[in-house]
Homo-oligomer: A and B are copies of this chain.
Amino acid sequence: MQTDPEKRSLEQLLAIFGAEGVITDPDTLLRYSRDQVADADYAVIPAAVVRPTETRQVAELMRWANETGVPVTPRGGGSGLAGAAIPLPGGVVCSFEKMNRILDIDTENMMVVVEPGVITNDLDRALEPHGLFFAGYPMSEDICFIGGNVAENAGGGRAVKYGTTGTWVTGAEIVTPTGDLLRLGGKRLKDVTGYNLLHLMIGSEGTLGLFTELTIRVIPRPSVRGVALLAFRDHRSATTAVATFKRSPSLSAVEFIDGETARRANSGLPRKKQLAVPETAGAFLLVEFDGDDPATVERALTAAADQARRAWRDAGEPHPADTAATLAAHERTDPVIALGTDRTSGDRAWTLRKAVPWWVKRTAPGYHSVEDVVVPPSEIPALVEYAEHLRHKYQVPIAVFGHAGDGNFHINPMKPPELSPDEWPDLVDSLRHDLYHRVVELGGTISGEHGIGRKRVRYVPLALTREEIHAMTAIKRALDPGNILNAGVVFGLD
């Protein structure tokens, strides 16, 4: 039963958004109760979901929220992996699903203006006929919203060459937590007029403002792309190869998958998409080069393949192709599994890479944790070794994959079937403490692209000092004195 103030509040929301723009039906609300974080106990059903179609409504929403004290949580595609889009009890979710127009494709300035609810891949598809390319590239590109990518400063497969989403944002219209409208930057490539609020907002996980329009720089679409999926004997030979690949300016991706995980994810693919991945490989690297000169890309691909073959020889073992004995022992005779500048080779390799997180999800539904640590590139071998140590210490399977070029690894502990679900939360908490301590020791931090959200709030003091947290929360208070916008995300509720 609704109290009188609740009823009045709902009437006010209806006045702002219209009946079409307000959801209170319990079944539908359920869909807005969580993102892609595995643990079901993060789910919170909001009191209502509002779906703005224009900026004015978002500003009115925030003024309403400050008057009523009802907390607001912005939501993009719901593809987040840290719980930043999970509302507070009694709160309202502001979903940008209806603000999904591409407003302007400006080929002369090589910039686009979009609403936040555009699906990331839709933007890139719209650019293709113009020979242009949006270099932001989260792995969830088919479902995520560009607004969410910006709010989280999403990374992805090609960040090693092109940087994270924030790199490409030159302007934004933003509604502040108190309902003011800011228009920061624009179609300009440089701007030092006042503070860089734009990049403070980017990656602030919807706690400092709501993006209602984005201006994004795009670039000439590379005409050639070459991909190789390479097998390595062990983690170390794969991770040490990364530095060599990075010396090539055309390198556009270098993704790591540990051997066991790659094989299992591969087996889970439809048969015709499966690849002949060798049983003895301890790790795989997907490398991609792009550019406009086919010869340069071909050369880089060949060099990468040679490097993979050499790594087997350097390990003192003949690589699978070298002896009849090994030949017999392996399905394949070459560490080079897919290679080429044609679309098929590329798709085959990326299909395996993209299958990995889904395989993790299916293997331990509700009981796995997608970690997102980042270390200096030189510490990648140490990090992957530490994942091995955690496997032994906690006796749980851990899938290791991620963006090796950036030192950003997804380390995914999964509950083994024999472990009771009750024991899982404590185990994973303890494992996270170990992992986060280690990455900080290695000069890294606890999240590279997924964010803190609600999931990692309690671990922030492992990565940031009291003074650093103090400076950041002072800014939150300055911009959101009522703590009304996505409170509890990044820094907790007090």
A contact set with B: CB distance below 8 Å: 106, 108-111, 152-153, 155, 159-160, 164, 166-167, 176, 180-184, 186-197, 199-200, 202-205, 208, 219-220, 222, 243, 246-247, 249, 291-293, 296, 374-378, 403, 405-408, 443-452, 460, 463-465, 467-472, 474-479, 490-491
User: Smallest Cβ distance from A11 to chain B, in angstroms?
Assistant: 28
> Separation in Å of the A157 CB from the closest CB of chain B?
13
CB distance from A150 to the nearest CB of B (A): 12
Residues in B with CB closer than 8 Å to A403 are: 190
In the complex the two chains form, what is the Cα distance from A448 to B190 in whole Å?
5
Cβ A376 vs Cβ B196 within 8 A: no
Query: How many angstroms from the CA of A202 to the CA of B192 in the assembled complex?
Result: 10
Query: B182 to A467, Cβ gap below 8 A?
Result: yes
Choose among B181, B194, B470, B476 the residue that contacts A180 (Cβ–Cβ < 8 A): B470
A222 to B249 Cα, complex, angstroms: 9
Task: Establish whether residues A293 and B292, one from each chain, have CB atoms under 8 Å apart when the complex forms.
Answer: no
Which of A159, A464, A465 gathers most chain B CB within 10 Å?
A464
Given A181-B467, A467-B181, CB of A192 within 8 Å of CB of B452? yes
From known contacts A200-B200, A377-B109, infer whether A194 and B449 are also in contact, taking CB-CB under 8 Å. Answer: no
The answer to whether B192 and A220 have CB atoms under 8 Å apart is no
Contact indicator A184/B468 (Cβ below 8 Å): yes
Supposing A195-B208, A196-B199, A490-B195 touch, asked if A190 and B408 sit within 8 A by C-beta, the answer is: yes
* Chain B residues near A296 (CB-CB < 8 A): 292-293, 296
Is A376 touching B479 in the complex (CB atoms < 8 A)?
Answer: no
**23 contacting pairs across A/B (C-beta < 8 A):** A108-B377, A109-B376, A110-B377, A166-B196, A182-B468, A183-B465, A186-B444, A187-B443, A188-B375, A188-B406, A189-B377, A189-B405, A193-B446, A194-B452, A194-B468, A194-B491, A195-B203, A195-B208, A196-B200, A200-B475, A220-B249, A474-B478, A475-B479
What residues of B have a CB within 8 angstroms of the CB of A152 in the complex? 192
Within the complex, what minimum Cβ distance (angstroms) separates A109 from chain B?
5
Question: Which residues on B sit within 8 Å (CB–CB) of A476?
Answer: 195
* Given the contacts A195-B204, A246-B110, A155 and B190 also touching, CB distance less than 8 Å: yes
B443 A189 Cβ-Cβ under 8 A: no
For A176, the chain B residues whose CB sits under 8 A away are 467, 471
A198 nearest CB neighbor, chain B only: B199
Within the complex, the shortest CB–CB distance from A128 to chain B, in Å, comes to 16
Beyond A190-B408, A475-B478, 17 extra complex contacts between A and B, CB < 8 Å: A109-B376, A155-B190, A164-B190, A166-B196, A176-B471, A188-B375, A189-B448, A191-B445, A192-B450, A192-B452, A194-B464, A194-B469, A196-B202, A199-B200, A220-B247, A293-B296, A296-B296
